[in-house]
Structure 1
């Protein structure tokens, strides 16, 4: 009797390696590596690794390997924030794609179910747990590609579906050429292809807002300094002085309308009574324009020391015209989820302060009446935060941020990509300003018009167009597309027989 062949085992390992490699390709399509076709190739290879009729174990295992290859590389920045959190995030978010692959039907209905379920896995990642981690998104990978305008219709959710749908259809078409049994799904394949192409085509003619005929000239101030440093490494006063020095290089100009500083440029107990506030007022008076600065202030709530993270607008006469406090805080960066539990395990959580979440709308108003959609740092990764300010009348978007604590460029380049996505989604200019880079001006079509380098001290000055009117994404948001994807996923599972076990177990 001959020994059993280990060929099936080797084939299974090869398919698992292909799924992992597919996830890696998606990661490499993201900034800072960014080559957008790799995401489509990755989805094609992932679908090939699954095949038309995988076993249950293969579906869950290959789905996790795909998600892990994508997340562990694409979110490599997180290890600098929290090593255990980085591992947990990779495992959990890989698990989302494991469940998506496990639930998706086989056979011809996979071309409908797999894209819908994997897009829903991403939608879940953007909001859960702890408010979500929407970095390393499929939308970022496509921001420089031909399907980027899709975000004006349905944001990152819709463009994610388009990538998964195109990749799955391409894989199914390859299968249909070699496996005759795949041809019964030809009608479904052509219908989905037509629908996907239609979505891309509509995006190119969809409304993208209108010019108000007014402009705003903004000087975005980058103070400079080393990357990979935290507030514990660099005195906050030094950060402030770098930005004061950079601001001092700006010459008075009647065309200038606003000087913009980044997040956390000032750290004081109480801003209004500080000497730094007077220095800001002196500069605003010298230039005869308002200055918007990012500041943190100490507060005591219920006997516990906490802090606020805000952006304020200071007029030349010293009045604080408007203020926005950051609403979405960074988990493990600006607060610690489950702090009471984690404090019993490690003292490392004591290094993380507890920011007070803001409650006001995402709007800042200038003394002359212009309204700007304001999102601080992390918030720019969430399309809904920018939408809120634009819906309330924001004619441009500002994103004061602080990525100084991260070495490398993963976070910084992904943030620029997110600013590009938010610009296209809303049809507004986006001004991103950071203490050590990257500071950038992004036009409504997602073009980076100007950008600084890391660490340099520089002031970028640019005239931006103020705009009104809504894109479809601004009007609709994510909800309609999530509902449509849920409907498609459920329909595919029902028609694909994924719920047959319920009927088999039901009494006759």
Structure 2
């Protein structure tokens, strides 16, 4: 028990913003060693404890956000539900640990549990996947081949190999292969990660207008976010006119800057776009003529204003969509902020802007595998993640989200622009390296020349196939272990 608690906390300690990719496989090695050859019930218990030790500190930003008004219950509740899925992963790992080539099946089972908790309940919560600890290191290159699922599998496979080797050192062949194959595979794939501007370049500007560090106090302060970012955009206008900054091809502003009814007007944004003579890409809440409420990203054109838009696909449960409203009122302030649920979009976010195709995902979208890959497949040559992280104070949440953007860059072979209200805004190269970055709670504009890239990585071409293959392996291994156990008892 002490070992899995220490390992779970170590997995958190090796997660972003700390760049310690090697901690994750060591933490998984401890879990694998502990559950090996145990009953499923014991595996569930040890996995649950491991999950708590990992997720409680990792999701500490939920307590920073809601704790003053709602106490620890939202934080503890989310951590408990997600830790239960890791417990299921531990149970499955215990079941399959007696099969031949056990490290392969143990890793597949754990990644299957990650996939399930990324989809259920209420659309899932993918935060804390093993892949998101790998924003540096040799496994990151595997994202270009099989996306986040393959990266998680590689980490879990090395961990299961190490755990098995420690417990059964005389049977070393399979564990050593399980350790060596992902490491060599990642190192071999790095030369295949392209960074050349094979579709040209674009000069972009990111506006970070900042926000007061009020936590839930920002709930009804939409005008503050709007005015701060208009002011920062006006500073960009002044810098361009004076020659201090080269004129960008377009300007990215964060999520939740505007609020537009059916008329879809915003004189201040229109003024900025006209003064610069280039389109803005800006996030805001929008209500359509039929009354539907959306979280959306809009191209705001000089002269004509509201243009093409992307509507957020993955809505945050208990915030943008409210299941069980009367119960949710006990743990969420958004029940009274939004009287009806937002309506999600159904299409990948691809917006034509300044002669290029921009792939867009909003904040929480970046944690999911079905947003940026399809955008790249539909011709996006550059990606953007507008987000509003001002709720979470000086916590690690923004850095955790930046790590996801770095993985998406490698997965799709695209540069990624992160535009955050209060930070961290960043420019990420196609190899996942961060070339420019802001600090938290500062007003700062970034400008950069970024590579545009066409073509499809293997991960983009494969889509959800790696997830399904690993899920079939994991479920099949559990079924085989169950059949084998019943046969031995008979």
TM-score, normalised to structure 2, is 0.89
1:488 to 1:69, Cα distance in 2 relative to 1, 3 A: same
**Aligned counterpart, 1:40:** 25
**Aligned counterpart, 1:31:** 16
C-alpha separation between the residues in 2 aligned to 1:56 and 1:307? 45
Encode CA deviations 1:62-118: one digit per residue, 9 max, x unaligned.
Answer: 121112211222222233357544323322222222222223323464323221111
Q: Mean alpha-carbon deviation: is it higher for 286-295 or for 197-206?
A: 197-206
Q: Does 1:97 align with 2:96?
A: no
C-alpha separation between the residues in 2 aligned to 1:164 and 1:359? 32
Q: Does 1:75 align with 2:21?
A: no
1:298 to 1:153, Cα distance in 2 relative to 1, 3 A: same
**1:339 and 1:349 in contact (8 A); partners too:** no
Q: Does 1:258 align with 2:250?
A: yes
**Aligned counterpart, 2:77:** 88
Report the CA distance between 1:246 and its aligned residue: 1.0
Query: Which among 334, 344, 350 is matched to residue 363 of structure 1?
Result: 350
**Aligned counterpart, 1:293:** 282
C-alpha separation between the residues in 2 aligned to 1:96 and 1:241? 42
Q: Which runs of 5+ in 2 are unaligned?
A: none
Encode CA deviations 1:327-361: one digit per residue, 9 max, x unaligned.
Answer: 21111121112336646x77956335222222343
Q: Does 1:351 align with 2:336?
A: yes
Q: Does 1:435 align with 2:427?
A: no
Report the CA distance between 1:323 and its aligned residue: 1.3
Q: Does 1:448 align with 2:448?
A: no
Report the CA distance between 1:484 and its aligned residue: 3.7
C-alpha separation between the residues in 2 aligned to 1:346 and 1:486? 36
Query: Which among 50, 58, 65 is matched to residue 42 of structure 2?
Result: 58
Report the CA distance between 1:477 and its aligned residue: 2.1
Query: Which among 274, 281, 302 is matched to residue 270 of structure 2?
Result: 281
Q: Which runs of 5+ in 1 are unaligned?
A: 1-15, 178-182
**1:373 and 1:390 in contact (8 A); partners too:** yes
Q: Does 1:163 align with 2:155?
A: yes
1:106 to 1:427, Cα distance in 2 relative to 1, 3 A: closer
**1:221 and 1:247 in contact (8 A); partners too:** yes
Report the CA distance between 1:237 and its aligned residue: 2.0
Query: Which among 241, 246, 269 is matched to residue 232 of structure 2?
Result: 246
Q: Which runs of 4+ in 1 moved over 6 A?
A: none
Q: Does 1:309 align with 2:301?
A: no
**1:113 and 1:489 in contact (8 A); partners too:** no
Q: Mean alpha-carbon deviation: is it higher for 219-228 or for 440-449?
A: 219-228
Report the CA distance between 1:24 and its aligned residue: 1.0
SS at match of 2:168: helix
SS at match of 2:205: strand
Query: Which among 120, 132, 143 is matched to residue 128 of structure 1?
Result: 120
Report the CA distance between 1:429 and its aligned residue: 0.7
The structure that has the greater radius of gyration is 1
C-alpha separation between the residues in 1 aligned to 2:133 and 2:331? 36
**Aligned counterpart, 1:375:** 361
1:176 to 1:482, Cα distance in 2 relative to 1, 3 A: same
SS at match of 2:482: coil
SS at match of 2:391: coil
1:99 to 1:347, Cα distance in 2 relative to 1, 3 A: closer
1:440 to 1:397, Cα distance in 2 relative to 1, 3 A: same
1:107 to 1:358, Cα distance in 2 relative to 1, 3 A: closer
**Aligned counterpart, 1:11:** none
1:228 to 1:40, Cα distance in 2 relative to 1, 3 A: farther
**1:206 and 1:471 in contact (8 A); partners too:** no
Q: Does 1:113 align with 2:105?
A: yes
1:320 to 1:128, Cα distance in 2 relative to 1, 3 A: same
SS at match of 1:212: coil
1:256 to 1:28, Cα distance in 2 relative to 1, 3 A: same
SS at match of 2:370: helix
**Aligned counterpart, 1:10:** none
Q: Mean alpha-carbon deviation: is it higher for 102-111 or for 332-341?
A: 102-111
Encode CA deviations 1:364-386: one digit per residue, 9 max, x unaligned.
Answer: 111x4311001111111113201
**2:112 and 2:474 in contact (8 A); partners too:** no
**Aligned counterpart, 2:451:** 465
**Aligned counterpart, 1:49:** 34
C-alpha separation between the residues in 2 aligned to 1:454 and 1:98? 35
Report the CA distance between 1:56 and its aligned residue: 4.3
**1:22 and 1:42 in contact (8 A); partners too:** yes
Report the CA distance between 1:176 and its aligned residue: 3.0
SS at match of 1:380: helix
SS at match of 2:125: coil
C-alpha separation between the residues in 1 aligned to 2:289 and 2:165? 62
C-alpha separation between the residues in 2 aligned to 1:501 and 1:220? 58
